[in-house]
Amino acid sequence: MSQEHEHVKCLIIGSGPAGYTAAIYASRADLKPVMYTGIVPGGQLTQTTDVENYPGYPDGVMGPEMMEDFRKQAHRLGTDIRFGYVTSVDFSRLPHRVVVDEDKTILSFLRSCGLNLPYDPIAIFPFFVFLSPFPMLVY
């Protein structure tokens, strides 16, 4: 069985608040982002009741409602939102490879992560993408 391959300019893995924020900024920069939502679209906030400490919601908001607002904004700006689970990554060679649902390979050349670290977390912690609550943004 041969895998399907796709070249993507900007890939976002994860659909929590950081993933949708990355999608909004990438869309506005005309990077044509593709987002894979993961197992739970919207991330952990979809399982949260009252969110009272987020700017823009003066009366608070339910987590699922907030994530739906994020999804709508990212979609409106042009993010291609896809349901899928990243099952493996290989950032050790170019082009980088991200496998979705064990049957589709996404190819890309550059990457950045959602953290401002003085080192590359993928080089030091190859499992980082699976353990971090922050999304991976792959250009």
**Complete domains list, the chain, with CATH:** 4-138 (3.50.50.60)
Helix, strand, coil shares of the chain, percent, nearest 5, are 30, 30, 45
| pLDDT in the model for residue 114 | 47
pLDDT tens digits for range 32-83: 889 999 888 888 889 888 999 989 999 999 999 999 999 999 999 999 999 9
pLDDT confidence bin for 109, thresholds 50/70/90: low
What's the whole-model pTM score? Answer: 0.76
- Cβ atoms of residues 139 and 9 within 8 Å: yes
In this structure, the strands spanning 80-82 and 33-36 are parallel
Between 71 and 14, the more confident residue is 71
- Partners of 89 in the β-ladder: 98
pLDDT confidence bin for 121, thresholds 50/70/90: very low
Average pLDDT, the chain: 79
**Cα–Cα distance between 39 and 99 in angstroms, integer?**
14
